[in-house]
Each structure stands twice: as structure tokens, then as C-alpha cells.
Copies of this chain bind each other. A is one copy, B any other.
Amino acid sequence: MGVMNLLHTAGTAVDASCCVPSDKPVLGIEEAQRKALVFKALADPNRLRLLSIVKAEDSGESCVCDLTEPLDLGQPTVSHHLKILVEAGILHREKRGTWAYYSLVPGVMDDIAGILSAL
């Protein structure tokens, strides 16, 4: 049996002539879904703007009242976006008295960069 026969008829790859598929492990479905959650949280312009405000704050934290006005969105909508960012592990929420303060989870930007590198 020659090489051509091996290439064209061996195993299950009858017509695999374009390139040799790698047998390296592919990112698993569940892991892909977990990682996609982080990027889903970043995949909205208003959520990026929220992050930019929190990040620019000298104190490192912002309350909802400071986040609602500059975005020109309703308060429930901002609350919704903040919840998504918290659930993605990007923002931290701390309630003090009547107000809720949001801050970046320490090192989270590096963590996300690491997800990209480790794809």
C-alpha cells in the first residue's frame, strides 16, 4: 500500500487532502462556555463605559447614582448591567448603608488577559 493510498483511504479521513488536522486537545465545551461568560459581560458598550467610570475613580469605587447619570440609562438598566459584571467576576459589590459601591475585582484585567493567552 503506497503513500497515496494511505493518505486517501486510511482510517476515516477519506477526503482529507487540504491539510493535516491537529490532534491536540480542543477547548472543551463547558470551559468555553465559562470563558465566554466573561467576554459576554464585556460585549456591551454601556458595560464598558461603566467599567471605565469605576476604573477612573480615585477611590476605586463608585455608587450607582454616579453611574446612572453619565450613561443616560434608567436606574434599573444600570443595575442590570452591574449585576452581569458582578456575576462575571469583574466587579465587586459592597453595600454600605443605603448605597451600593462597585469596584474592580483586583487583578481581574490580568486574569482576562490570561484567559486569552491560554485559549
Which residues of A line the B interface, CB within 8 A?
A: 16, 18-19, 21-22, 24-27, 29, 32-33, 35-36, 39-40, 42-49, 51-53, 55-59, 61-63, 65-66, 69-70, 98-99, 101, 109, 112-113, 116-117, 119
Taking A27-B48, A33-B45, A42-B39 as contacts, is the C-beta distance between A55 and B19 under 8 angstroms? Answer: no
Assembly of this chain: how many copies?
2
- List the B side residues contacting A117 at CB < 8 Å: 109
Q: Quick check: B52 and A45 within 8 Å, CB to CB?
A: no
Q: How far is the CA of A65 from the CA of B47 in the complex (A)?
A: 36
In the complex, A55 Cα to B26 Cα: how many Å? 10
Which B residues are CB-close (under 8 A) to A101? 19
Q: List 8 A-B contacts (CB under 8 A).
A: A19-B59, A21-B69, A22-B56, A25-B56, A26-B56, A29-B49, A36-B42, A48-B119
| Residues of chain B within 8 A of A47, CB atoms compared | 36
Shortest CB-to-CB span from A87 to chain B, Å, is 14
**Among candidates B32, B57, B70, residue contacting A48 with C-beta atoms closer than 8 Å:** B32
